[in-house]
Structure 1
Amino acid sequence: MATAVLLSKGRYRARLAQSSEDIRAAQNLRTLAFDTRQLDSDAFDTRCSHILVEDMRSAGRLVCCFRMLTMDHGREIGRSYSAQFYDLSSLEGFSGRMVEMGRFCVHPNQIDPDILRVAWGAMTSYVDHNNVEMLFGCSSFAGTETEQYLDAFAMLKHRHLAPKRWLPRVKAPDVFRFATRLRRRPDTKKAMLRMPPLLRTYLMMGGWVSDHAVVDRQMNTLHVFTGVEIGAIPPARKRLLRTVAD
């Protein structure tokens, strides 16, 4: 990118991290948002591009962040964060450029929906400028108990499973195989109330998920592998994202 600033809308600015201090600020926000005892950091932080959303009316206070790992094609998917938890060999044949989006979080005291709009606008700008053809990552449900999310998982089973050619296989030792275990029809209202906001956005873009959730006790989450093929995003949704990004 020619400039670190990806997008500026109203009071918020999204930019690429430029220094170790920027990355540490993102780690501090993640630690707060994910409520971890230790600083939320790992080896992937040095391999990724980090996008920071700042409130320019509050002296550039960091209100949202996420990271992106770019791969030229599916043969590189084994180096992704998600590959630690899912067998992604089915995606090795994907020929286009891919980006893994991870560690997405918003400051817990911020409820302005414009923050998410700017974050997704910045993501759209990044995808467009880097000719990305697939966006993927792990979408997390808070906690490791499945009971409160059964309607959400039932909806994922009935409407949003990955195409067979891309479907991730089980790799993690502790998983919830919702696609085979659940027989219920989803209550749509309950499902959407329990669906994580990030995953909800992926699904509105035509995204799909794995047929099982990984139980991640270290992060105290349940997560599903999520993919979005850029070419398959509904035209109306694509226009909306690009309107924000412009």
Structure 2
Amino acid sequence: MTMEVLDLLQPSVPADASIAVAGNNVLGRIGSLETRIAETAAEIDAAQSIRYRVFVEEMQARLPEAAMRAKRDFDRWDDICDHLLVVDHKIEGEPEDQIVGTYRLLRHEVAMEHGGFYSDSEFQTADLVARHPEVRFMELGRSCVLPDYRSKRTVELLWQGNWAYALKHDIGVMFGCASFHGTDPADHAMALSFLHHNARATGDWAVAARPELAVDMNLMPAEEASGRRALTGLPPLIKGYLRLGAMVGEGAVIDHAFNTTDVLIVLPISSISDRYLNYYGADAGRFAS
């Protein structure tokens, strides 16, 4: 990625980020917001409710009938994943009432015990994992935040949690699907082309969409898909991945159920920018409980 692009993706550091001091599952705090791993079935249920509100009510996803009736986004993966939460302690009520954002985390050994990673259904991630037998992977998925909390601060807090969790479990690579809203790639031609030309994973990290599902991301010449205009079309989550040093797989996949166009993000820990290692802490000690 060019220095110009990196300059446009520079982070801002919250002044009130602090060390978490509560229970073992707490991974970080900024102001009244805290990130931690879900501890109860009620908290996981609340996270599934937030996912439903964002994916179905806001983004027009169409889930299986049982999920639509329950007004919860759930599937078999929820039972084997850890659920990273962002909670706001300013909200009155029970702990599950304070949840404002969530991520789903699947560790390598757990995935292998249960037939692979969720992303395998869209991308050739099994080949990527097989090429790196010495590395432990972690899949990130189902990221969503309530509208009033969609700020850089919340995204940074989610990443504090991911980073501390990854180090705790000796993870070498974080990866997972990230989405553009809608199922017409032409609506995101500049942004997809920008990713293709500037952030594509190559060499040992190359990974492609499954051939029967692949949609070309190379929709515009490199010179037409560059600069601030292209970055404006990227969802905040994908911008956050790029800031950290992530790469993107070859080809996108249309997910009609979730009304999205998906790309695969690949982030080796060794590729994380020094500025972020310094900010989050090379040992995550600044944010870990």
TM above 0.5: yes
Opposite residue 93 of structure 1, the aligned amino acid is R
Q: Deviations over 1:185-207 (max 9, x none)?
A: 31422211111111111111111
Aligned residues of 1:73 and 1:97 also touching (Cα < 8 A): no
Post-superposition shift, 1:76?
7.6
Aligned residues of 2:190 and 2:220 also touching (Cα < 8 A): no
- Cα distance change, pair 103–74 in 1 and its aligned pair in 2 (3 A): closer
More strand by share: 1
Aligned residues of 2:129 and 2:137 also touching (Cα < 8 A): no
Instruction: Give the match's secondary structure for 1:117.
Output: helix
Report what 2:11 is aligned to: none
Report what 1:86 is aligned to: 123
- TM score, norm. by length of structure 2: 0.78
Instruction: Give the match's secondary structure for 1:192.
Output: helix
Post-superposition shift, 1:152?
0.9
Report what 2:252 is aligned to: 213
Opposite residue 41 of structure 1, the aligned amino acid is F
Task: Name the count of aligned residue pairs.
Answer: 244
Q: Does 1:192 align with 2:231?
A: yes
Post-superposition shift, 1:116?
1.8
Q: Deviations over 1:31-82 (max 9, x none)?
A: 1111245221111111101011100011341111001000149978961110
Aligned residues of 2:28 and 2:34 also touching (Cα < 8 A): yes
Instruction: Identify the match of residue 192 of structure 2 among 141, 153, 161.
Output: 153
- Cα distance change, pair 183–15 in 1 and its aligned pair in 2 (3 A): same
Aligned residues of 2:209 and 2:252 also touching (Cα < 8 A): no
Which gives a bigger RCO, structure 1 or 2 (Cα 8 Å, sep 6+)?
A: 2
Give the % identical residues: 26
- Cα distance change, pair 76–201 in 1 and its aligned pair in 2 (3 A): farther
- Cα distance change, pair 170–12 in 1 and its aligned pair in 2 (3 A): closer
Report what 1:51 is aligned to: 84
Bigger-Rg structure (1/2): 2
Instruction: Give the match's secondary structure for 1:58.
Output: coil
Instruction: Identify the match of residue 24 of structure 1 among 34, 41, 45.
Output: 45
Instruction: Identify the match of residue 138 of structure 2 among 99, 102, 106.
Output: 99
Equivalent-residue separation in structure 2 for 1:34 and 1:93 (angstroms): 33
5+ residue gaps, structure 2? 1-22, 63-67
Instruction: Give the match's secondary structure for 1:202.
Output: helix
Aligned residues of 1:121 and 1:245 also touching (Cα < 8 A): yes
5+ residue gaps, structure 1? none
- TM score, norm. by length of structure 1: 0.90
Q: Where does 1:27-176 land on structure 2 (aligned, <5 Å)?
A: 27-35=48-56, 36=61, 38=68, 39-59=72-92, 60=95, 61-72=98-109, 79-88=116-125, 89-94=127-132, 95-171=134-210, 173-176=212-215
Opposite residue 92 of structure 1, the aligned amino acid is A
